[in-house]
């Protein structure tokens, strides 16, 4: 059954949001406009809540009492030393997500590009390009590029392919689709989108259940700072390793180590194209060899040696008659040379972003020439078999490796025994000349050129200021004072980029606990989702709830620009976004999200007034503005606003919910793309979940 907003519901929703959220719509408005405590110092209880909200994703049951018992300063130090905190609950929650443990090569094999599976079926059945295009369209493989055995693109929207599409019968199509399904079952294959679905689920569950709350906050921060877009070609296959081996181990470590790890990460190398950045003088297969000849029309020296079946396939594929085919074969034999592949050269994408977004900042004092020089220094930083071609699905099915891919690796100077999808420095592709970056000569040679650039960037004063400002925005306010930024930058420089020391400087600064910064930041959608789950004590498998997160505008790893998701109120505050937050809050409280369950018994009372007061005490710690409370009291007498959804029966377990979430993926890369979210019918005490849902949607809860 489908529910849609009526006009009256839309008007009611708008009026309620306007009444409740009017203070938020003025960007830069702080807690002084909502509360009358601006002239006072924070109480000890408020400081505890502030720490739990800023160093973590809000309080779970018992957290406030625990911090009271050990003291705020000790709690902060414990969070800064996250590795010493036992985290068994969170680890148990994610232990069955297999992608978290797999290497990139294993992911290529287990979750093959869907086009590769189609290609395996096509090769087995001797189908031509037109047949593959038809089969591809029938199976609705969207966003995946197909390649033939020679590595050439096969695209369903290619004009030549469309002109030569073979007319497969419906029976043949069904047969091939059954073969595809059989291959997935036989080899226990998964779909590529499951990689990011599992990774996203792990991010959500760790944020909800981890005792290492600050570490999870910093994982989120650095994941956006060093953004990689999952939907760019092969990038998604590299993201589990990126989270596991790059971001997490360094989230509270040293910035130089983190920057170096990201520079060598296949996820970053692929996303920003540095894996194919080579010196124009490099002696590699891609630069000094022409494209391999297309031998489809040149398989034999004598046309009569070509078997009849192959002749018919070629005629169909190229739209030729017998005479035209013979003429084409003869022409190929007389002119065997093929057009040369465009030479690769230096790619400046990563060089630009490492300075503008990762270190110095847009006003960091670098020039276009610095970008060129940095790009030269990082030539040769590449990926072994970046798309997993060496062990394509067809090869895996036959128990072999793709010999052509292996040969190309050898010609390019890459080690044949290295795993697919791993970092490798290719000396042959490196620009060996002297470089000058920010006035410093760099002539270390080989991979050390890039490492020297990292050293120069990390130690530049602009980097200290840029990182200090971003961290101050994250933990203090959207508009931190220059004095605070200066103090934090000094801590960064003096400690040579030690992240713990830098954060400690923020948490011990007088501005961190300033009353004007209390509940002054608007939560991002990710922070809203996690804090809501923690506050009401819900349990989640991190599956279908990803769709709700996407509807609010923050699908994980789906921000196309290298900036990552923003972290200020002006980027998240608008009527549509706030309505989606309210929809999520109501869906969570009423148990409508598959894979996420909540028991609201603690909020029950003898009447609406008691339910409201209990809910305010638990969810908002008793802190609510008169305006918000008055609006809530009015809304309690009105029908609960129904979100625009598609309702499905609860006939799947939590595991199935995760498998049925293709809508989670933000294929367009835009934050505000509309999605249909599949929810369950509401369950629980209607009066209670109505109150709790509305309170989770209040301005007070949207702030931290």
89 pLDDT band, cuts 50/70/90, is very high
pLDDT exceeds 50 at position 491: yes
- What is the number of alpha carbons within 13 Å of residue 9 lying toward its C-beta? 12
Contact between 215 and 82 (Cβ < 8 Å): yes
pLDDT exceeds 90 at position 505: yes
Helix (H, G, I), strand (E, B) or coil at 121: helix
Please count the other Cβ atoms lying within 10 Å of the Cβ belonging to residue 606: 7
Task: Give the model's pLDDT for residue 325.
Answer: 78
| Mean pLDDT for the stretch of residues 465-478 | 99
| Mean pLDDT for the stretch of residues 144-166 | 37
The model scores a pTM over 0.85: no
Contact between 584 and 528 (Cβ < 8 Å): yes
Helices 170-186 and 129-138 cross at an angle (nearest 10°) of 70
Closest CA to 97 of 112, 86, 110: 110
Task: Give the model's pLDDT for residue 153.
Answer: 33
pLDDT exceeds 70 at position 234: yes
Distance CA 168, CA 166 (A): 6
> For 74-119, what is the HEC assignment?
HHHHHHHCHHHCCCHHHHHHHCCCHHHHCCHHHHHHHCCCHHHHHH
Distance CA 309, CA 306 (A): 8
319 pLDDT band, cuts 50/70/90, is low
User: CA of 632: how far to CAs of 629, 690, 696, in Å?
Assistant: 5, 10, 11
Lowest mean pLDDT among 295-309, 311-325, 571-585, 627-641: 295-309
Phi-psi region of 584 (alpha: psi -120 to 50; beta: other; left: phi over 0): alpha
- The dihedral of CA 686, 692, 694, 697: what is its sign? negative
Closest CA to 382 of 226, 474, 266: 266
Distance CA 462, CA 464 (A): 5
For the record, the structure tokens of 434 come out as 């002297």
Task: Give the model's pLDDT for residue 1.
Answer: 43
For the record, the structure tokens of 559 come out as 């921000």
| Mean pLDDT for the stretch of residues 507-525 | 97
Higher-confidence residue of 475 and 339: namely: 475
- What is the number of alpha carbons within 13 Å of residue 1 lying toward its C-beta? 6
Give the pairing of strands 423-425 and 381-383: antiparallel
Task: Express each pLDDT in 413-444 by its tens digit.
Answer: 777 778 899 999 999 999 999 999 999 999 99
pLDDT exceeds 80 at position 91: yes
308 pLDDT band, cuts 50/70/90, is confident
Residues 6+ apart with CB under 8 A from 599: 537
Task: Give the model's pLDDT for residue 161.
Answer: 36
Contact between 227 and 691 (Cβ < 8 Å): no
Distance CA 363, CA 494 (A): 22
Task: Express each pLDDT in 163-178 by its tens digit.
Answer: 333 566 778 778 888 8
pLDDT exceeds 60 at position 454: yes
Task: Express each pLDDT in 650-679 by its tens digit.
Answer: 333 333 333 333 333 333 334 444 446 689
| Average pLDDT score, the chain | 83
pLDDT exceeds 80 at position 517: yes
Task: Express each pLDDT in 26-53 by its tens digit.
Answer: 544 444 444 444 458 999 999 999 999 9
> For 318-348, what is the HEC assignment?
HCCCHHHHHHHHHHHHHCCCCCCCCCCCCCC
Higher-confidence residue of 587 and 128: namely: 587
User: CA of 652: how far to CAs of 326, 591, 644, 658, in Å?
Assistant: 59, 14, 22, 10
Can you tell me which residue has the tokens 């590529």? 192
Distance CA 258, CA 433 (A): 27
Distance CA 478, CA 469 (A): 10
Task: Express each pLDDT in 205-228 by its tens digit.
Answer: 999 999 999 999 999 999 999 999
The residues with which 2 forms a beta bridge, in sequence order, are 646
Distance CA 183, CA 114 (A): 11
User: CA of 643: how far to CAs of 13, 542, 601, 650, in Å?
Assistant: 10, 21, 24, 18
Contact between 356 and 364 (Cβ < 8 Å): yes
Task: Give the model's pLDDT for residue 186.
Answer: 85
Task: Give the model's pLDDT for residue 329.
Answer: 76
Residues shown for the chain? 704
């Amino acid at each position: 059954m489908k529910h849609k907003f009526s006009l009256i519901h839309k008007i009611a929703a708008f009026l309620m949001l306007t009444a409740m959220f009017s203070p938020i719509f003025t960007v830069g408005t702080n807690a002084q406009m909502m509360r009358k405590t601006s002239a006072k110092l924070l109480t000890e209880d408020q400081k505890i809540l502030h720490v739990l909200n800023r160093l973590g994703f809000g309080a779970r049951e018992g957290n406030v009492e625990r911090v009271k018992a050990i003291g705020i300063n000790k709690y902060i130090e414990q969070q800064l030393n996250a590795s010493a905190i036992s985290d068994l609950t969170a680890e148990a929650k994610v232990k069955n997500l297999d992608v978290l443990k797999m290497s990139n090569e294993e992911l290529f094999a287990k979750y093959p590009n869907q086009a590769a599976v189609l290609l395996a079926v096509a090769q087995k059945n001797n189908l031509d390009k037109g047949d593959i295009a038809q089969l591809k369209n029938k199976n609705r493989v969207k966003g995946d590029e197909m390649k033939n055995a020679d590595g050439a693109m096969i695209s369903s929207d290619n004009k030549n392919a469309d002109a030569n599409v073979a007319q497969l019968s419906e029976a043949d199509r069904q047969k091939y689709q059954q073969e595809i399904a059989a291959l997935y079952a036989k080899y226990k294959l998964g779909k590529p989108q499951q990689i990011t679905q599992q990774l996203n689920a792990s991010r959500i569950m760790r944020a909800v259940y981890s005792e290492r709350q600050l570490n999870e906050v910093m994982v989120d921060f650095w994941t956006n700072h060093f953004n990689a877009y999952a939907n760019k070609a092969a990038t998604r296959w590299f993201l589990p390793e990126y989270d596991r081996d790059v971001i997490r181990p360094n989230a509270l470590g040293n910035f130089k180590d983190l920057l170096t790890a990201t520079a060598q990460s296949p996820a970053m190398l692929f996303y920003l194209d540095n894996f194919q950045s080579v010196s124009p003088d490099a002696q590699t297969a891609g630069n000094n060899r022409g494209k391999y000849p297309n031998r489809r029309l040149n398989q034999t020296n004598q046309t009569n040696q070509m078997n009849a079946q192959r002749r018919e396939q070629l005629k169909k594929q190229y739209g030729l008659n017998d005479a035209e085919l013979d003429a084409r074969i003869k022409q190929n034999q007389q002119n065997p040379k093929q057009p040369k592949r465009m030479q690769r050269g230096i790619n400046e994408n990563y060089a630009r972003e490492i300075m503008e977004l990762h270190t110095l900042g847009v006003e960091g004092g670098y020039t276009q020439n610095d970008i060129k020089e940095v790009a030269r220094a990082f030539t040769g930083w590449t990926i072994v078999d970046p798309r997993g071609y060496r062990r394509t699905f067809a090869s895996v099915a036959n128990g072999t490796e793709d010999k052509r891919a292996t040969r190309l690796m050898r010609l390019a100077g890459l080690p044949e025994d290295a795993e697919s999808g791993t970092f490798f420095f290719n000396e042959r592709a490196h620009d060996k000349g002297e470089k000058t970056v920010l006035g410093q000569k760099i002539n270390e040679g080989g991979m050390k050129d890039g490492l020297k650039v990292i050293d120069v960037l990390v130690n530049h004063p602009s980097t200290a200021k840029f990182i200090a400002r971003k961290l101050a925005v994250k933990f203090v306010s959207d508009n931190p004072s220059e004095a605070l930024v200066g103090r934090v930058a000094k801590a960064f420089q003096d400690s040579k980029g030690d992240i713990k020391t830098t954060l400690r400087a923020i948490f011990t600064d007088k501005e961190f606990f300033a009353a004007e910064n209390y509940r002054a930041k608007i939560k991002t959608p990710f922070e809203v989702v996690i804090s809501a789950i923690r506050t009401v004590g819900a349990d989640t498998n991190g599956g279908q709830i990803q769709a709700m997160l996407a509807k609010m505008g923050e699908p994980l790893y789906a921000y196309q620009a290298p900036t990552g998701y923003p972290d200020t109120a002006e980027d998240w505050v608008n009527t549509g976004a706030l309505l989606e937050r309210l929809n999520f809050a109501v869906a969570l409280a009423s148990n409508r999200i598959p894979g996420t369950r909540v028991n609201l018994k603690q909020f029950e009372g003898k009447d609406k007034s008691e339910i409201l007061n209990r809910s305010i005490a638990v969810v908002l710690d008793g802190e609510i503005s008169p305006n918000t409370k008055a609006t809530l009291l009015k809304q309690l007498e009105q029908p609960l606003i129904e979100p625009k959804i598609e309702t499905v029966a609860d006939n799947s377990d939590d595991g199935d919910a995760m498998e049925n979430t293709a809508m989670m993926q933000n294929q367009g890369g835009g934050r505000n793309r509309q999605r249909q979210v599949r929810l369950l019918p509401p369950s629980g005490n209607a009066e209670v979940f109505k109150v709790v849902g509305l309170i989770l949607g209040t301005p007070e809860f949207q702030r931290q």
